[in-house]
Amino acid sequence: MEKSQAEDYLTSLLNKTLRVTTTDTRMFLGQFKCTDSDRNIILSQTFEYRLPPPPKHLAGEEEETVTMDMTSRYMGLVVVPGEYIERIEVEEFESQMKGKKGVAVAGGKGEEEKEEV
């Protein structure tokens, strides 16, 4: 990817809702405001989501149930240091995805993405 393309791509993400998962399995959901070459990410209006402590009686639970049970709390403006980021997701409207995908493909982005969609 060329530098100008990279800049355009990151700029296009600004103010979108990102879900940033950290190495300690917490997830932060907020509006993308800023990033730099170290992949430090600033999110505003952020909520923290955390897996609840495992129940004592049952070990294997269905993934879906766990997601529902995630406890959230408001934290406001946060900066997630790049070194602790495990996963970044962007929220998109399904209805707008088709056009976007076309752009993404035309922009020559990885095959994986297409698969995931």
Q: Closest approach of Cβ 109 to other proteins, in Å?
A: 6
Q: Determine contact, residues 16/93, Cβ cutoff 8 Å.
A: no
- Nearest CB to other proteins, comparing residues 60 and 86: 86
Of the two residues 4 and 60, which places its CB atom closer to other proteins in the complex? 4
For the bound state, the minimum distance from the C-beta of residue 38 to other proteins, rounded and expressed in Å, comes to 7
Least distance CB 60 / other proteins (angstroms) = 20
Q: How far apart (Å, rounded) are the C-alpha atoms in residues 48 and 29?
A: 7
Q: How far is CA 88 from the centre of its chain?
A: 3
Of the two residues 60 and 74, which places its CB atom closer to other proteins in the complex?
74
What Rg do the C-alpha atoms of the chain give, in angstroms? Answer: 16
Q: What is the identity of the amino acid at 63? A: E
